[in-house]
Amino acid sequence: MNARAWKTMLLPLVIAAAAAPVAAGLAKERPPPSAEARAVQDPPATHNMMLVGETTAFASHLPMFIGLDSTGRQYRPPHRYQVILEVTFSKDGRDVTQLYLNDRKSHPGEKMYTINPDPFVLPTLFAGDAQPRANRFTATVFRGHFERGGREIPGLRGVVVNVRRVIHGGMFDPAIHHPQRLTYILFGRGSELFLAHSITHPPDFDQILSVRVDGHAFTDDELARGVAVAFPNLADMPLQRIRQGQSATGEFHVTGAHQFLNLRIRAGTEFYFEEGELRIPVLFPCPTAEEIRSGFGGSPALPRCTPTP
């Protein structure tokens, strides 16, 4: 079952769950189980991903909150995770990553590349002892969004996606609310850097953009662990997100290190922006007005509908 069919099937459940009262106090007393504890309970699913990078391939899971379970303590499986990976591709025992990298470089005007995997259990990529950790899955790689007219890249059908590093992996928690400040995860390798918006609680938004950082060179090991970035003068909302070409000063914190740096960034290409699928209930298939203004409003093939503010 593809992602669009999955979403359509779940939409009545989403609306029903959103209408039900949520026991906030109970959620605090009984926090959701960790991703490790929940991993074995997740069903296999098609976890579509955005793909960025011209020198190294990075994949970012396209998440949804879906809704709350009957206790109000858990977002429904299986897409309630933000996951960022460094990956390579192989087929018949050969490394074919360069096929993607070459295609990306030869289509500079194409922002979106996507991975459409075979069903698998996503948290097995980063969970602990709940079950053996996985480090690969099979998928097909597309130029463009595969649900919106994207085209398969020749030679990248049914490839093995090898997970070199898990840069970020976490399950959404209904007890956690938005940070007041606009917050991102910096990742990349060498001089090729990206910001991914940190997703916490609905309504929220997903965004990936390239970026340059002035005055400091992060090591590959630091970038592999993810670097938290907060912009103190910007609120954590879509209309105040970092825009293409924008400069701003952020507070950088290397994960696992007591290192805080105030650095200036300049944003490059906005590769992805989505907010409708990170609300409860999910705004599907209608794009929001901001998605349309930003050029991520879908394609003429999508059903006609009125954009949502």
pLDDT of residue 281: 84
Give the tens place of pLDDT for each residue, 16-46. 333 333 223 323 333 444 444 444 478 899 9
pLDDT higher than 60, residue 11:
no
Select from 156, 278, 282, 259 the least CA-distant residue to 207: 278
CB 300 within 8 A of CB 149: no
Q: Which residue has the higher pLDDT, 226 or 181?
A: 181
Average pLDDT of 74-103? Answer: 95
pLDDT of residue 128: 59
Give the percent of the chain with pLDDT over 90: 60
The Cα-based distances of 224 to 58, 218, 228, 291 in angstroms read 11, 10, 12, 30
pLDDT of residue 72: 82
Longest dimension (CA), the chain: 53
pLDDT of residue 132: 60
187, β-bridge pairs: 194
Token reading at 178? 């938005």
**What is the 3 state secondary structure string of the chain?**
CCHHHHHHHHHHHHHHHHHCCCCHHHHHHCCCCCHHHHHHHCCCECCCEEEECCCCEEEEECCCCCCECCCCCCECCCCCEEEEEEEEEEECCEECHHHHHHHHHHCCCCCCEEEEECCECHHHHCCCCCCCCCCEEEEEEEEECCCCCCEECCCCCCEEEEEEEEEEEEECCCCCCCCCEEEEEEEEECCEEEEEECCCCCCCCEEEEEEEEECCCCCHHHHHCCEEEEEEEEECCHHHCCCCCCEEEEEEEECCCCCEEEEEEEEEEEEEEECHHHCCCCCCCCCEHHHHHCCCCCCCCCCCCCCEC
166, β-bridge pairs: 85
pLDDT higher than 50, residue 1:
no
Domain residue limits, the chain: 3-293
Categorize the per-residue pLDDT at 304 as very low, low, confident or very high, splitting at 50, 70 and 90.
low
The Cα-based distances of 157 to 50, 89, 168 in angstroms read 16, 10, 26
Give the tens place of pLDDT for each residue, 208-260. 999 999 999 999 999 988 899 999 999 999 999 999 999 999 999 987 777 78
Beta strands at 192-197 and 94-95: parallel, antiparallel or unpaired: unpaired
Select from 237, 307, 255, 301 the least CA-distant residue to 276: 307
pLDDT of residue 6: 44
The phi, psi pair for 125, rounded to 5°, reads -75, -25
pLDDT higher than 80, residue 65:
yes
- Taken in order 18, 22, 28, 29, is the CA torsion positive or negative? negative
Mean residue pLDDT across the chain: 84
In angstroms, the CA 182 to CA 250 distance is 9
In angstroms, the CA 92 to CA 96 distance is 10
Q: Which residue has the higher pLDDT, 49 or 295?
A: 49
Return left, alpha or beta for 155; rule: phi > 0 is left, psi -120 to 50 is alpha, else beta. Answer: left
Calculate Rg over the CA atoms of the chain: 19
Average pLDDT of 133-161? Answer: 93
pLDDT higher than 80, residue 277:
yes
